[in-house]
Amino acid sequence: MTQTRPDAPEGTEPADFERLADPFRRELMAHCYRMLGSVHDAEDLVQETYLRAWRAYDRFEGRSSLRTWLYRIATTACLTALESRDRRPMPTGLGAPSADPADDPVERSEVPWLEPVPDALVGADGADPAAIVTSRESIRLAFVAALQHLPPRQRAVLILRDVLRWRAAEVAEAVGLSTAAVNSTLQRARAQLDRAGLTESGVDTALTAEQEALLDRYVKAFEAKDVPAIVELFTDDAVWEMPPFPAWYQGRADIGRHLSDRCPAGPGDLRVLRVRANGQPALAQYLRDPADGVFHPFNLQVVTFGPERITHAATFLDTSLFAVFGLPDSLPVRSR
């Protein structure tokens, strides 16, 4: 027998609500992640969305689809949360590249940095063909980073209109604006993304066979700590950034100097597991402990490809992300 939650409205059947609403969980996770730029905050807001929806389910009159209704609740919850939260930047959004990559980078742990998100958590892994709303393009790292520079309501309008393809009148009801205000807000948001050279559509996220082979070479070069082989795989103007350090580097020479002088790993000290984040290939790197030879979480790197080489590496040093990605907390000593 199904039990009704004590805080659920009278007459609500939890099993019915859960059965009808649960298929939207991953795309709502993607929506909250785009709004907040944090996988941890997004998980909290999705839970809040479902709790609010459950409590109000007896008042859902079906004038819109259940999916649209859930998105309205999620958007309101996100906008409320953003009233007390700072935007989540990437280092490249804070200033020019560092002058000397050999300098000791200074950690800024007080900054709420943008976080990567696992494809599987937001329905961008292709496992569910019905989850077509969560396109890989709409969660790629550069796009989500650009969204963080928009004021919260602009961010919501642009996502609802350009990512979810809602009509202006639907967006107006969801964010509490007039239709005319939605249209002008959308124009301002689009203009800011255009200045950054970013849009949600038109980017091919599937790797070619040549790019797959290049990524394999990249992994092997890191595990061997072969810096010349690593930088050979970057474009001339490639970018390397590494939250929570605001310092970032541009160009093969500076990336190579940083890896040579600041990376603590030597040949054989890294092991790499391939994952997917933000609709992009990503590498979970484990660093060997010299005391016992066990490999422990070191960083999670999201890689962006151009037509022939790597254009961007975002290296996240927050090892709590390994649990989010379902990764092991250590890798065993390598057998000889």
**Measured distance CA(245)–CA(109) in Å, rounded:** 8
Q: What is the pLDDT of residue 336?
A: 53
Task: Give residue 221's pLDDT.
Answer: 97
Residue 57: predicted pLDDT: 86
Q: Which two tokens stand for residue 272?
A: 């790499």
Helix (H, G, I), strand (E, B) or coil at 91: helix
Provide the pLDDT for residue 179: 96
pLDDT for the residue numbered 130: 53
Buried b vs exposed e over 175-198: b needs ≥16 C-beta within 10 Å? bebeeebbeebbeebbebbeeeeb
pLDDT of residue 302: 98
pLDDT score for 102: 82
> What is the pLDDT at residue 2?
37
Within 8 A by CB and 6+ apart from 26, the residues are 121, 122, 123, 128, 131, 134
pLDDT for res 8: 43
Contact 310, 218 (CB under 8 A): yes
- Residue 226 pLDDT: 97
Rounded to 10°, the helix 25-36/39-56 angle is 130
pTM of the model: 0.90
* End-to-end Cα spacing for the chain: 56
pLDDT of residue 104: 86
Q: Could you say which residues of the chain have pLDDT below 50?
A: 1-12, 131-133, 200-204
Give the per-residue pLDDT at 15: 64
pLDDT per residue as tens digits for the range 34-50: 999 999 999 999 999 99
The reported pLDDT for the residue numbered 219 is: 98
Chain centroid to CA 134 = 12
Which amino acid belongs to residue 71?
Y
What pLDDT is recorded for position 100? 87
pLDDT tens by residue, 150-179: 999 999 999 999 999 999 999 999 999 999
